[in-house]
Structure 1
Amino acid sequence: MGAAIPYITRTKSNNGLDSIALLDRNNKLTNPKNVITFGAESVKFFAQPFNFITGNKMYFCQRKDNVKLSIYQCLFLKSVFEYSLQNTGYNYGMGLTGERFSKRYIELPIYKMGCVNWQYMDKYISNIINSINVPKIEKFNNSNLSNLQHKIWKSKKISCLFDYVAKGKYLKKNKRIKNGNNPYITSTKLNNGLSSFIGNKTIFKGNKLTISKVDMTVSYQPYNFYATHDVTVLGHKKLNKYNALFLKVLIEQNKEKANYSNQYQLKKIEDLKLLVPTKDNDEIDWGFMEDYIKSIPNSNLL
């Protein structure tokens, strides 16, 4: 069986990770760990802590003297590189190739004699990381799965399950007010549906679920927000961040039904049926959904 190895591409998110590939253990095409990768068009830099393979038009940086970079030095340099390339115009029309990048100048911390101060980079990043209070992560156990098996489940239409179902509103690009504080929610499957922050007034109150029409990615929106026409918004007076996550899983079990040629807009979402936990009197058991999510290890981090 092959070895699992990160497949790094030109994506701007997830540290450049596209997927985990299986590679023959004798394959010599892997790239070294503790380097900084960047894509020609994305112009995003990422520190890679593991050996990896790459897609097309990918480059990585390492020290010219072949001394291994520490991961802290990689993180420091990532920020330096990206700052130095602000407003330089590199994009899909003019990619940042390895040759172009190698000819650029950057500012680095140095000793008085002019040598690069690598130790300063380590200490600077180390101080930042040590100042972050990282919570202890509990191990997951399967003990509470039996609660699901002994619950009564009934099929309910989304239009009956939620007391608020609405469609987002199209906002022309030239009408968007940049650099605001209000979440702008789109059909992206990344970043909880957040595309950017805008200065336009919000049109939906927080404590809602949003569904992308293209792939039915579901996100919980805790704050007031603006949603585009590509998004369906769901709400209920008993909805909270816990039972919302329970319902997110139920809705996304239907993801395979949606695609660009079969988009799930408002009417299809309203007619979609979900198997949901109910009480003996056939009422939806919102309390059970909330308590179940709360019982999962690390739910206190939500």
Structure 2
Amino acid sequence: MNLVKVSDLFEVKYGVNLELINLNEVPQRSKEAICFVSRTENNNGVSAFVEKNNDVKPISSGTLTVAGGGSVLATFLQPYEYYSGRDLFYLTPKRKMTEREMIYYTICIKRNRYRYSYNRQANKTIRDLFIPAKVPDRFQKLRIDELNIKSASNKKPPLFDRKWGWFSLGDLFTFEKGERLTKLDRIGGDVPLITAGENNNGVSEHISFEDFKDKKKLFENKITIDMFFNVFYHNDKYFSDDNIHTLVPINFELNKLNSLFLVAILSKLKHKYAYGRQVRLMRLPFEKIKLPVDKIGNPDLKFMEDYIKSLPYSASI
């Protein structure tokens, strides 16, 4: 593969370098709203919507934003004009590129993040990063299905005027810990292996069903919590390693929709496990979450399902 520098394909410029504290934030749907892109790796880099400043020209849409500091090399294609915060660069293609080509290069630039660990910033070196000269044909031809923005239900169940109650996890679930499986012992196959991590729904690779069906527990339609309290729902069958805790409901059934509601609630506990404090089986049963309840005080699973159905994109679930 022929590699070239970022500066060979893109004109690299420093952004307008505005401070959000000095701008007037407005609702996203406001006619005056301009995206404010910062160094975050969330929400396509957009951290706020602000009022247009007649003294500052927004950066054009169709450019890439690259964080030089903060979430270093967080790179996104911006579909709307925007303002930028500090340590943010924007890249304008030197030749006409399709949206798919631009997205490919966001991935390539992000893949250089390993060079910037231990607080090393990328401000002076973005131009010299190496990326492929051409987008591979397999990526150009890759089929990407469009998500259906529609909700699965037109009903809008009220979330905030519901009655909620506290529940210990140990009253709702039993916990099944996975079995240790080193990389050297893994044999490739078709069954997802869930390990600790916040990416790819916890799936690190796929292993052989035939080789491990008698050695490892096989789960399906379950929620998992890893040692760092990353929480995921798994609709399909999976194996897990010893850093994964599978939640098995006590006297109730879960489906995909109410499981996703629970994942969102459970994820709120993640902050308790920062700075090296890891999830242990002896701690999990005593963690508490607040859930909507029915008339007799039990978790209202039907409401949770209906609420997820009411959200945008739920028709694609």
TM-score of the aligned structures, taking structure 2 as reference length? 0.60
State whether structure 2 residue 312 is matched by structure 1 residue 301.
Answer: no
CA drift of 1:168 comes to: 3.1
Structure 1 CA distance for aligned equivalents of residues 269 and 227 of structure 2? 12
The answer as to whether partners of 1:203 and 1:224 remain within 8 angstroms in 2 is: no
CA drift of 1:39 comes to: 8.0
Match of 1:76 among 101, 111, 123: 101
Give the match for residue 287 of structure 2.
272
CA drift of 1:267 comes to: 1.9
CA shift in 2, pair 1:219/1:167, >3 Å: same
Give the match for residue 62 of structure 2.
34
Task: Look up the SS of the partner of 2:283 in the other structure.
Answer: helix
The answer as to whether partners of 2:201 and 2:232 remain within 8 angstroms in 1 is: yes
State whether structure 2 residue 117 is matched by structure 1 residue 106.
Answer: no
Give the match for residue 176 of structure 2.
166
Question: Per-residue displacement from partner, 1:21-79 (whole Å, max 9, x unpaired)?
Answer: 87994887976532346689x99975333446487696735216xxxx46xx2422554
The answer as to whether partners of 1:59 and 1:98 remain within 8 angstroms in 2 is: no
Task: Look up the SS of the partner of 2:282 in the other structure.
Answer: helix
CA drift of 1:219 comes to: 1.4
Q: Which structure 1 residue ranges, 5 or more long, are not aligned?
A: 110-120
CA drift of 1:225 comes to: 1.8
The answer as to whether partners of 1:80 and 1:106 remain within 8 angstroms in 2 is: no
CA RMSD of superposed structures (Å): 4.8
The answer as to whether partners of 1:32 and 1:52 remain within 8 angstroms in 2 is: no
Give the match for residue 183 of structure 1.
192
The answer as to whether partners of 2:265 and 2:289 remain within 8 angstroms in 1 is: yes
Structure 2 counterparts to residues 109-258 of structure 1, below 5 A:
132=145, 134-137=147-150, 143-145=156-158, 149-151=161-163, 153-162=164-173, 164-177=174-187, 180-194=189-203, 196-200=204-208, 201=212, 203-214=217-228, 216-236=229-249, 238-258=253-273
Identity, % of aligned positions:
24
Q: How many residues align?
A: 268
Structure 2 CA distance for aligned equivalents of residues 133 and 181 of structure 1? 26
1:156 maps to amino acid: F
Q: Which structure 2 residue ranges, 5 or more long, are not aligned?
A: 1-23, 26-33, 117-121
2:233 maps to amino acid: Y
CA drift of 1:244 comes to: 1.1
Structure 2 CA distance for aligned equivalents of residues 284 and 79 of structure 1? 44
Task: Look up the SS of the partner of 1:238 in the other structure.
Answer: coil
Task: Look up the SS of the partner of 1:264 in the other structure.
Answer: coil
CA shift in 2, pair 1:271/1:5, >3 Å: same
The answer as to whether partners of 1:187 and 1:212 remain within 8 angstroms in 2 is: yes
Match of 2:115 among 67, 85, 92: 92
The answer as to whether partners of 1:183 and 1:225 remain within 8 angstroms in 2 is: yes
1 or 2 for the larger relative contact order (CA 8 Å, sep ≥6)? 2
Structure 2 counterparts to residues 49-60 of structure 1, below 5 A:
49-50=79-80, 51=82, 53=84, 60=91
CA drift of 1:209 comes to: 0.6
CA drift of 1:271 comes to: 1.2
The answer as to whether partners of 2:220 and 2:234 remain within 8 angstroms in 1 is: yes
CA drift of 1:280 comes to: 4.9
CA shift in 2, pair 1:77/1:270, >3 Å: same
Task: Look up the SS of the partner of 2:36 in the other structure.
Answer: strand
